[in-house]
């Protein structure tokens, strides 16, 4: 395992779920963290907690990946000592609603497309040039099993995750003449705030998604991300697809 000590790791959507678990795990390995999210208070508290617990430097930055100008300004004004990002974890993403296309909600579509595709592109566009210039770096994108198999009520969510896969594959080709690595970590059902957000805070409905089987945890996924990040320089993990042992694919979950 290659050491992450003092590596600069930039995580989007770090306030909760997989992003937060990744921040904790990378902090425990001695990385320096730039943690970003829309919810400023949460990332400020997380930064303080990680700094106290692991004695590492953490830079919390309020950033909305959907807002191109915000992304430009935040990344463009990184303090000098934080500019050389070693690992970018494009984690910010969400699902909204479970309507079929013929009854879909335009705003939900925009939110998913703007966050999961355009947001990931904006951040990558602004962080990757430095990696190319230094001939060193690693982009780790959060895909999904929903990017491998569509399911009803998730056409647009699945489309965004198919897009993440397309982008990861293309960027890997585009950077093949450099030492930059590109990985995609694609989980199935993970019990986080994901379904709560999808159902606009309907906790009961969200709970049912994970009923009768043991879903992945945010830590399970963070460990897969860590695995990608800690391979020797010559080895790139292109893609990890992981799911609960009870989940066969997007459609089949064995519930007791
Ligand atoms: C999450 C996977 O199947 O819950 O990305 O939509 S699923």
Which of 17, 51, 7 has its CA nearest to residue 37?
A: 17
Report which ligand 1 atom has the smallest distance to the Cα of 189: 4
Q: Among 32, 122, 157, 210, which one carries the catalytic annotation?
A: 157
pTM, rounded to two decimals: 0.98
What is the residue with the minimal CA distance to atom 4 of ligand 1?
189
Mean pLDDT over residues 63-67, rounded?
A: 98
| Predicted pLDDT at 194 | 97
| Predicted pLDDT at 243 | 98
Q: Is ligand 1 within 6 A of the CB of residue 195? A: no
Spatial distance between the Cα atoms of 236 and 146, rounded to a whole number of angstroms: 23
| Predicted pLDDT at 165 | 98
Residues 194/21, Cβ–Cβ less than 8 Å: no
Mode of pairing for the β-strands spanning 58-62 and 239-242:
unpaired
Is 157 part of the annotated catalytic residue set?
yes
DSSP alpha helix (H) spans, 39-149: 40-54, 68-76, 106-112, 120-134
| Predicted pLDDT at 4 | 98
Mean pLDDT over residues 115-141, rounded?
A: 98
Is 210 part of the annotated catalytic residue set?
no
Sequence-ordered list of residues with C-beta below 8 angstroms from that of 9, at least 6 positions apart, any chain: 26, 31, 32, 33, 34, 85, 86, 87, 88, 89, 229
Segment 74-113, tens digit of pLDDT: 999 999 999 999 999 999 999 999 999 999 999 999 999 9
């Amino acid at each position: 395992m290659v050491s992450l000590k003092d590596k600069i790791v930039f995580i989007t959507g770090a306030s909760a779920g997989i992003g937060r678990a990744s921040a904790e795990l990378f902090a425990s390995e001695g990385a320096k963290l730039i943690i970003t999210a829309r919810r400023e208070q949460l990332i400020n508290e997380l930064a303080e907690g990680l700094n106290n617990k692991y004695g590492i430097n953490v830079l919390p930055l309020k950033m909305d990946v959907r807002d191109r100008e915000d992304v430009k300004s935040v990344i463009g004004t990184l303090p000098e000592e934080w500019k050389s990002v070693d690992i970018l974890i494009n984690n910010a993403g969400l699902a909204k609603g479970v309507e079929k296309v013929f009854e879909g909600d335009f705003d939900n579509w925009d939110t998913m497309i703007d966050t999961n595709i355009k947001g990931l592109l904006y951040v990558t566009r602004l962080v990757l040039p430095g990696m190319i210039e230094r001939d060193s770096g690693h982009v780790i994108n959060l895909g999904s099993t929903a990017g491998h198999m569509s399911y009803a009520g998730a056409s647009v969510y699945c489309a965004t995750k198919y897009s993440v896969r397309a982008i990861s594959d293309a960027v890997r080709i585009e950077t093949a003449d450099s030492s930059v690595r590109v990985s995609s970590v694609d989980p199935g059902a993970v019990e986080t705030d994901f379904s709560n957000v999808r159902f606009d805070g309907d906790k009961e409905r969200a709970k049912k998604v994970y009923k009768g089987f043991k879903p992945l945890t945010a830590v399970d996924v963070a460990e897969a991300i860590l695995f990608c990040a800690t391979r020797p320089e010559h080895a790139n993990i292109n893609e990890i697809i992981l799911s609960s042992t009870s989940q066969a694919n997007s459609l089949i979950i064995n519930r007791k």
